[in-house]
Structure 1
Amino acid sequence: MPISETWLLPDGVADVLPEQAQVIETLRRDALDFLASRGYQLVYTPFIEYIESLSSLSESNQDLDLATFKVIDQLSGRLLGVRADMTPQVARIDAHVHQVQGVARYCYAGTVLHTKPQGFNTTRAPLQLGAELFGSDSIDADVEMVDLMLNLIKTVGLVDGIHLDLGHVGLFRSLVKHAGLSRAVEKQLSDIYQRKALPELAEFTQTLKFGSDFYALGRYSSDLNALQTHLSAAILADDAFKLAFDALQTTQTEIQARWPNLHIGIDVVELRSYHYHTGLMYAVYAPNRAAPLAQGGRYDGIGEHFGRARPATGFSCDLYALSAGQFKQTTIVVAPKGTSHDLLDAIAQVRLQGLGLIQLLGNDDFNSIPHATHQLVNVAGEWKVEQI
């Protein structure tokens, strides 16, 4: 059977046609220009490299390891990985290749590949764009990154009705340590929190040390004032818990001051990538979209795998998801055949204006360019662009 009758793309992979590709490319350029204006330096990373380099996050993020395609290098016989996330690669650059003393800021944009879709109705080959800040453990760095993420969303024109979610893994992590829970119990609790199963949480925490605090963490996860009221004095006095709680409050206050009309939600038991993140987590949502437009958080110590542990925070987004539902009709001007100086000058002038222009070839006529929107015509000796 000929391939023309059996041809299919793999599940989760799709072509991007001109009307949407133009939107995506415009978003990419505008986003990178914006990040550059904030001092974030652009880096390009290889699409494939030795799995040891890509595994700097795998020990703490098994989801990333499972999402990574692995192949054997025909030259060395070693295992290669196709990047499923660009953050480990940027961390390698910061720690091993471009060792900036002090704070370093990077941005990037490129296709990544996942073994399976990472969410409902998502692609396996996202066009990932993001920013990373290395070398500062200050809450100011987290505030900068959240503000940067929100301004990026605004730059691409999606600011109306957006919602910011803030969380901090340090609250749950410090409570687990304070209570001395086993890894198995910790995992069960994390799963219950993720499912928002309050009746199950109430029953599960009855026999736990500091069980009332674990229940309060889930019951009042979106209200810091109520949570503080219902926590025990011992937990509130715990240094690690207090540091995380204060960081979350400070971030909420400072972002609200910068974005007074923004709706900010708190969820202290939003534990996505719990073993990967080390502090504040943030995500921005738009109405009628289940998946976040962009998300990120703090992941201190990421460069340890490369011999240079550094505090770090960053976010990323999928440009395909940001551009969903947007299409742009490109202006295409068709010029007649000919080599006269006045025609060639007119063609050059149209192109200088930034318009796309196609000059007819051979026996072509205007009907041979079905996507054309305008034509270059000679009116009383003067070349003019007219709509078709």
Structure 2
Amino acid sequence: MNKNAWVLPDQLADVLPRQARTLEALRRGLLDLYRRHGYELVMPPLVEYTDALLDDTDDDLDLRTVKWADAVTGKTLAIRADMTPQVARIDAHLLNRSGVARLCYFGSVFHARAAGLLTSREPMHIGAEVYGHSGLEADAEIQSLLLASLRFCQLPGVRLDVSHAQIVRALLARAPQLQYDKDAVYSALQAKDTAALHTLTRACDEEVGSALLALVDLYGGVEVLERARTSLPPYAEISKALDELQTLATLDDSGALQFDLADLTGYDYHTGVMFTAYCTGMPNAIARGGRYDHIGERFGRARPATGFSLDLREVTELLPCAAPSTAIAAPWIMTPDLRKAVESLRAAGEVVIQLTEQHQHEEDEFVCDRELVLDAGQWVVQPIKAK
């Protein structure tokens, strides 16, 4: 017998009863929220061929994906590390609609390497995607739905940072000297490393270099957008991006919306508006999303697409466990009249837990405040008297 058989691999954990009930309540509530907005639920498989889950541009996703040779076909299989490509595949080839498709999903993903020291290698993702509409209306809907999701979860200190992928792309398109240092530029912007940016932009056009350096300080409330109009060149792509962000700024008055024009996580993936959600008590982003119009290209049918994904496992780590529910204790005997009484109570929505006299009630999720007792030949519910 292996004495350590109960030990789990690093950064994997069981979800125990009360936390599991919190997670399940969030899952049900969020999927109901998405349904009320017209989103249809899809359930892709845990395992697919690698060419469906990965493309050549996302090295980070490739490193986080577990792969092996299929014993049946000899092809390379992978456990999904992200569900968005799967939903794009469903939209492109299984549904194959010409109009707008609103899809939502929930499921576990698995990472060969955790995203951070305190994060799980098995996130539980829930998300929503809009396919088939390139207009800002789709991005606005996703922004509003993401904020509604975070409010439903009752997370403390929610902040949604909004950025736009086309701003930096417009600058780099005018700086061919930076073509081979593009990744380094994005990394320096993400880290707000002005010294590195000074070094990288030394040889490029002064207008572009100054604009890239200005992005580091362009974060905060809606006033950032006005500062950006004076700090950045009036290129058509940048003006259009700032106009889109300005419109999105008018859609929420909760104070949760912020702008960080140097927050470019996933820059090689996104093609427009980008969302990153944070909250008090969690150093990592709690949700990410944005526009990624090229995601369907690998399936031969690129469609406009925007959406978000939220990790419910991390969310439940931030919330108090659900309070125990009240329950009715009943004898654990097999008499027909008792069984009928128990079934009737359960059908009415009551939790009934049957116990023998030798067993104590030990469930974390339930507190038995009543009991089913035989009184004058009838099974009746009575309060449990304090001992």
TM-score normalised by the chain length of structure 2:
0.90
Q: Which consecutive aligned stretches of 4+ in structure 1 deviate over 6 angstroms post-superposition?
A: none
Q: Structure 1 CA distance, aligned partners of 2:6 and 2:304?
A: 47
The offset of 1:203, in angstroms, is 4.7
- Check whether the contact 1:169–1:269 (CA below 8 A) recurs between aligned residues: no
Q: Which residue of 2 is the match for residue 272 of structure 1?
A: 265
The offset of 1:212, in angstroms, is 1.5
The offset of 1:339, in angstroms, is 4.8
Higher helix share: 1
Count of aligned pairs:
373
| Secondary structure at 1:384 match in 2 | strand
Cα deviation code 1:183-210 (max 9, x no counterpart) = 3222221111111122443454343212
Q: Which residue of 1 is the match for residue 35 of structure 2?
A: 36
Task: From 158, 161, 166, give the equivalent of 1:162.
Answer: 158
Q: Which residue of 2 is the match for residue 313 of structure 1?
A: 306
The offset of 1:11, in angstroms, is 0.7
The offset of 1:10, in angstroms, is 0.7
Q: Structure 2 CA distance, aligned partners of 1:21 and 1:366?
A: 28
- Check whether the contact 1:112–1:126 (CA below 8 A) recurs between aligned residues: yes
Q: Structure 2 CA distance, aligned partners of 1:137 and 1:366?
A: 65
Within a 5 Å distance, the mapping from 1:251-330 to structure 2 comes to 251-253=248-250, 255-256=251-252, 260-324=253-317, 325-328=319-322, 329-330=324-325
Q: Structure 1 CA distance, aligned partners of 2:67 and 2:140?
A: 36
Cα deviation code 1:52-72 (max 9, x no counterpart) = 1112xx323221111110011
Q: Structure 2 CA distance, aligned partners of 1:321 and 1:67?
A: 18
Question: Pairwise CA RMSD of aligned residues?
Answer: 2.0
Task: From 346, 353, 362, give the equivalent of 1:370.
Answer: 362
Q: Structure 1 CA distance, aligned partners of 2:285 and 2:238?
A: 27
Amino acid at match of 1:157: Q
Extract unaligned runs of 5+ from structure 2.
Answer: none
Kindly indicate whether residue 339 of structure 2 is the aligned counterpart of residue 344 of structure 1: yes
- Check whether the contact 1:221–1:227 (CA below 8 A) recurs between aligned residues: no
Q: 1:24 to 1:213 in 2, by over 3 A?
A: same
Q: Structure 1 CA distance, aligned partners of 2:161 and 2:183?
A: 23
Percent identity (aligned): 37
The offset of 1:21, in angstroms, is 0.8
Q: Structure 1 CA distance, aligned partners of 2:179 and 2:117?
A: 29
Structure 1 residues 3-12 or 135-144, which shifts more?
3-12
Within a 5 Å distance, the mapping from 1:1-388 to structure 2 comes to 2-5=1-4, 7-55=6-54, 58-158=55-155, 160-209=156-205, 210-222=208-220, 223-231=224-232, 235-236=233-234, 238-253=235-250, 255-256=251-252, 260-324=253-317, 325-328=319-322, 329-340=324-335, 342-360=337-355, 364-365=356-357, 367-371=359-363, 373-374=367-368, 375-378=370-373, 380-381=375-376, 383-387=380-384
Cα deviation code 1:282-314 (max 9, x no counterpart) = 122222221223220110021111111101001
Extract unaligned runs of 5+ from structure 1.
Answer: none
Q: 1:338 to 1:203 in 2, by over 3 A?
A: closer
| Secondary structure at 2:353 match in 1 | strand
Q: Structure 1 CA distance, aligned partners of 2:151 and 2:42?
A: 23
| Secondary structure at 2:201 match in 1 | helix
- Check whether the contact 1:333–1:358 (CA below 8 A) recurs between aligned residues: yes
Q: Structure 2 CA distance, aligned partners of 1:296 and 1:8?
A: 35
Q: Structure 1 CA distance, aligned partners of 2:109 and 2:34?
A: 20
- Check whether the contact 2:162–2:275 (CA below 8 A) recurs between aligned residues: yes
| Secondary structure at 1:76 match in 2 | coil
Amino acid at match of 1:217: L
Structure 1 residues 263-272 or 129-138, which shifts more?
263-272
